[in-house]
Amino acid sequence: MQLQHLRTFVRVVDLGGVTRAAEQLALTQPAVTKQLAALERDLGAPLIWRQRRRLRLTPAGELLYAYARRILNLADQAEQAVRTLQQEGHGEVRLGAVATVGLTVLPRILAHFSGRHPAVRVRVVMGEIHENLERLLRGDLELAVLTMPVAHPRVASVPLFRDPVRLVAAPQTAAKLPRPLSLTDLASLDHISYQTPSRFRAYVDGMLEQHGVLPRVLMEFNSHEAVKSIVALGLGVAWMPESVVADDVAQGRLEVLEVRGMAEMVRVTSLAVPTDGHRTPPLAALLDTFRELFGLAWSDFPAWARPSGEPRGDHTDAGTARA
């Protein structure tokens, strides 16, 4: 198989047709078709079914596409690694993050990193936890900051910090409520919630259910910022990560409500690191930034991520102990 044939195949699949792929690759349509045919001949299996004007992958095509994405990403990383050896302090790192982290925690991390490595570009991709995990496994990302640890044989979860979930209300709402709230009080309040399905909503609802509380949901939104804005207007209460509401509480826009008999809710924001990555200078610099800002030890990371001279035994996930 030729690398160019794999690039052409992936581009055809991503764009949904030969014509668009040919335009982007600056090739003729017959040239693209010829490369696809050569790839099928090399592998001895059809890769694409052509149905009228639509293309559909065969089972062999589905399998090859998954591997091809990884192969091409590795090839790009290899080229970048070789180039950056000659240009210390330059290059690019691809970082994934969930929206909550992207709005609250990531700016501080990136500001610190860019101050020390101004010539390194950090390309940030936002998405849900499962989307970031899929991109990480495909090699589209090198790291991802997630709002929970993940258990996967090809991913190590490095815990960054505990993020308690707080019940918050507008000051005018809090002034009318008993302090602390009882579980019965809690069940009688209007709740502003995150939309289902979401891992955060499932986590909160599950914890409330364990305490016999079925929240009376008045409104649902698809972002923490929208939930926070509605609560600040005095229209209900909401369970929200402390990292999202800390500034609002400090400035008096929201108040934290205690609930008697309610177990603590807490999430552990973690750095997802592939177990089979490669330590390029830009990536090493970003890993060191995370280590420094969150007080991590190199032993928390997979062996490949550690600098030379650090112990390179088997990685053990410190997330369980630290969480």
List the beta bridge partners of residue 123. 94
pLDDT of residue 318: 38
Alpha-carbon Rg for the chain in angstroms = 24
Segment holding 66, helix H or strand E: helix 59-85
CA dihedral 190, 196, 199, 204 (to 10 degrees): 20
Averages of pLDDT over each 10 residues, the chain, 323 residues: 92 90 92 94 91 84 93 85 64 90 91 92 92 92 94 95 96 95 96 87 94 94 92 96 94 96 94 91 93 95 86 44 36
- Is residue 184 classed exposed, middle or buried when 0-12, 13-18 and 19+ CB atoms within 10 A define those classes? exposed
Smallest CA-to-CA distance from 322 within 271, 260, 258 is with 271
pLDDT of residue 314: 46
The pTM assigned to this predicted structure is: 0.67
Could you give the 3-state DSSP secondary structure of residue 191? strand
Between CA 304 and CA 84, with CA 306 as vertex, the angle to 5 degrees is 75
Strands 155-169 and 190-194: unpaired
pLDDT of residue 104: 87
Q: Which two tokens stand for residue 198?
A: 């979401």
37 — phi, psi (to 5°)? -65, -40
Q: Which two tokens stand for residue 73?
A: 């990403």
Q: Which two tokens stand for residue 248?
A: 């609002």
| Ordered structural domains, the chain, with CATH | 3-78 (1.10.10.10), 91-161+268-322 (3.40.190.10), 164-267 (3.40.190.10)
Smallest CA-to-CA distance from 156 within 53, 287, 22, 254 is with 287
DSSP state of 235: S
CB 44 within 8 A of CB 59: no
Cis geometry, peptide bond prior to residue 30 (ω within 30 degrees of 0): no
